[in-house]
Structure 1
Amino acid sequence: MNKIKVGIIGSGGIARAHAAAYKKLPFVEVTAVADVVPGKALEFVAAAGLTDAAAFDSHTELLAEGLDAVSICTPNASHHRTTVDALRSGKHVLLEKPMAVSLDEALDMVQAQRETGRMLSIGFQPRYDPNMKRLQDIIRSGRLGDVYYVETGGGRRRGMPGGTFIRKSLSGAGAMADIGCYSLDMALNALGYPRPVSVSAFASSHFGTNPLYHAEAIHFEVEDFGVAMIRFENDMVLQFKIAWAMHMDTLGPTMFLGTNAGLKVLPYGSGPWSGVWDGSIGSMMLYHDDFGGLTQTEVPLIEHRLDLFFEKVRDFAEAVRDGRDAPIPGEQILIQQAIIDGVFRSAEAKREVSVELPVYA
């Protein structure tokens, strides 16, 4: 059987993780790497041990190669153009989160995917954690009854990145796109990605723009905190809150309130950079009424040693090989992009705004 030929666009830290994962798959060959910085792709090829891979200084040159798929590991602002070009050149795409920097860009990406019939999968590796799957199973089993209120998000007491993450021209957004997308995906995926209808939000950058808290404050152009109340078609509401930095130890657990039971979920990890949903689950507690009284049941966690990032890449590669649908389809994450878009529109307008999506989302 011929190996799947894969290219990697972008050669930063996340690209190294993609290369390492692909190298573990015997049916995959990384044959090309591209980066807009001259010479950087060539350095990456040598450092990653991709001895047979060609190096290019533009993604368009790479896409002219006979590839089956690409991993896109570029700054957020280039996700749209690179993804659309890749899809229209006949390549399947594994795109690192966040999907895009605007709803219009995300819509264009999904439209390109639908027109070309290629696969567009978005990289949310926490979905491969067995305990995240257990959370989804609990919610979708009906054990909670009708879920009417959800609270999710996360906060780092200190955890502001720098560089490309804080330049709006490159990242498009701050904490919302960087870590907020993880908590939104955790909750919305468990709920089956209901359709939002409105958002009321607030965002700020009190820490990032203050030299007392950030060494690159003069260059800080994005939000380091945001909060929103989101209404959905099914009459459910979701409170979303996220922070790169704050004077608090936590923004609280993720909670699902249902008519029959409630579920409280805490993230895995500790320390100033923890408290967000980019990894596993620390604990789950079910609150319910049984035997005529108030009862709570600790949900046992599944012990595992899975490399979630590898599982993400493997699943995508196997979907390409086997002709399966995208493991985490762009059409689904488009709903999350609409919410984030609504958050920024509402925060700027200082009022509630409506969210409108095409029928296929």
Structure 2
Amino acid sequence: MTTTTIRIGIIGSGGIAGMHAAAYKTIPGVEIAAVADAIPGKAAEFVERHGLSGTLAFDDYRELLQLDLDGVSVCTPNSAHRQPTVDSLEAGKHVLLEKPMSVTLDEGLDMVRASRRSGRMLTIGFQPRYDPNMKLIQDIVRSGKLGKVYYVETGGGRRRGMPGGTFIRKELAGAGAMADIGCYSLDLALNALDYPKPLTVSASTFNHFGRNPVYHPEADRFDVEDFGTALIRFEGDLTLHFKISWAMHLDSLGTTNFLGTDAGLKITPFGQGNWSGVWDGKVGSIQMFHDFMGGQTMTQVPLVEHAIDLFREKVRDFVDAIREGRGAPIPGEQILIQQAIIDGVLRSAEQRAEVSVSVPDFAGGPAED
């Protein structure tokens, strides 16, 4: 591995950008060369606040892209993901894009096509993948121990965990709970299944809590869903039940479950409280249900104990992929499947009917090991 300094730019200087900056600062041989934000003066304030000595600040990200950079973290609001990502790739920079990938499927397609044209990687920021127990789930599902997997139930539910600001405005976020935390649930299930291609979606969404000032201080600005559910059919006679909640009158929407012809897998999320119950971090428990010696039994799968900083790991993996010249750790081609599903969910909910889902042949496929 070369010791050449990796020069990074950060586009967008909100809260998530601070986490990127903090992670890059811990990685040897990385220089945060520049930060850009469309709000005048915000990038300069970010540079000062995070002690980024020597880092340039721009109000226009296109000036940042004129620098000699190896990679860019795109940390803008969801609705502003597409253009800076496409421009960064076409300027010859590798891109780490924060989740969710895009507001629409077409925007996701534009970014992936730009990556393929430029030969630069586009990787999407799903830090839960770096939990060793997520890898354990993937290994179990792909090992064949479950037999043919025919039904999966995933999602999660915060009893009361609604964000505000840009997250709740459709013009900026594109979608609510489905995209914000639902994307983690989808990645848990779909990555274990090697990202099969969806065929149809039948969905319903609601925002009874977000639009009620009793429950949300920005109710008058809240125009995305705080709860959603969908039934998704995939190639290979596989069905997935997807459900997600920012707020509800219930403590949990349950576990993620894989049902196979030989065994079933039950996975409980980590944590307690109003903001827990979703797959944005660690795993709580893994249980396998199967038959043994003619009887029904359950095996408690031992969890891997660790103290890994998952967010730092995704940033480090991006840097290492640049250094080693390897492909995207979590390629945009994979996450297009998610975007197609979320797009289908929103269309189905609006039409109150089942809708077809179409993805290009290059969508899906394995990530780098």
**Which residues in structure 2 correspond to 1:170-189 (within 5 Å)?**
170-189=172-191
- Report deviation, 1:2: 2.7
SS at 2:159 equivalent:
coil
Tell me the equivalent position of 1:285.
287
Is structure 2 residue 315 aligned with structure 1 residue 313? Answer: yes
Is structure 2 residue 59 aligned with structure 1 residue 57? Answer: yes
* Partner of residue 244 from structure 2, selected from 226, 242, 245: 242
Is structure 2 residue 74 aligned with structure 1 residue 72? Answer: yes
**Cα offsets for 1:85-106 (capped at 9, x unmatched):** 1111111000000000000100
**Cα offsets for 1:242-298 (capped at 9, x unmatched):** 010001111111000000000000000000110000001000110000011001000
* Partner of residue 344 from structure 2, selected from 342, 345, 348: 342
Q: Which amino acid aligns with 1:58?
A: D
**Which residues in structure 2 correspond to 1:119-158 (within 5 Å)?**
119-158=121-160
SS at 2:133 equivalent:
helix
Q: Which amino acid aligns with 1:269?
A: G
How far apart are the structure 2 equivalents of 1:17 and 1:217? 28
For normalisation by structure 1, the TM-score amounts to 0.99
* Partner of residue 204 from structure 1, selected from 193, 203, 206: 206
Tell me the equivalent position of 2:367.
none
- Report deviation, 1:52: 1.1
* Structure 1 runs, 4 residues or longer, greater than 4 Å off: none
How far apart are the structure 2 equivalents of 1:234 and 1:247? 36
SS at 2:277 equivalent:
coil
For normalisation by structure 2, the TM-score amounts to 0.97
How far apart are the structure 2 equivalents of 1:6 and 1:151? 39
Tell me the equivalent position of 1:24.
26
How far apart are the structure 1 equivalents of 2:197 and 2:4? 41
SS at 1:240 equivalent:
strand
Q: Which amino acid aligns with 1:267?
A: P
Tell me the equivalent position of 2:88.
86
**Cα offsets for 1:155-177 (capped at 9, x unmatched):** 11100000110111111110011
SS at 2:129 equivalent:
helix
Identity of matched residues, %: 69
How far apart are the structure 2 equivalents of 1:259 and 1:2? 51
Segment of structure 1 superposing worse, 21-30 or 285-294: 21-30
Tell me the equivalent position of 1:356.
358
Tell me the equivalent position of 1:10.
12
**Cα offsets for 1:53-79 (capped at 9, x unmatched):** 100001111111111110011100000
How far apart are the structure 2 equivalents of 1:320 and 1:74? 22
**Which residues in structure 2 correspond to 1:97-136 (within 5 Å)?**
97-136=99-138
SS at 1:126 equivalent:
helix
How far apart are the structure 2 equivalents of 1:168 and 1:216? 13
Q: Which amino acid aligns with 2:81?
A: H
How far apart are the structure 2 equivalents of 1:216 and 1:153? 25
SS at 1:342 equivalent:
helix
Tell me the equivalent position of 2:366.
none
How far apart are the structure 1 equivalents of 2:18 and 2:164? 19
Q: Which amino acid aligns with 1:57?
A: D
Tell me the equivalent position of 1:253.
255
How far apart are the structure 2 equivalents of 1:349 and 1:169? 20
**Cα offsets for 1:91-129 (capped at 9, x unmatched):** 100000000000010011111111110000000000000
Q: Which amino acid aligns with 1:49?
A: G
**Cα offsets for 1:212-267 (capped at 9, x unmatched):** 11000000010001000000011100000001000111111100000000000000
The alignment yields a C-alpha RMSD, in angstroms, of: 0.6
SS at 1:357 equivalent:
coil
How far apart are the structure 1 equivalents of 2:170 and 2:29? 38
- Report deviation, 1:356: 0.7
**Cα offsets for 1:118-155 (capped at 9, x unmatched):** 00000000000010110001000000000000000011
SS at 1:255 equivalent:
strand
- Structure 1: 5+ residue stretches without partners: none
SS at 1:173 equivalent:
coil
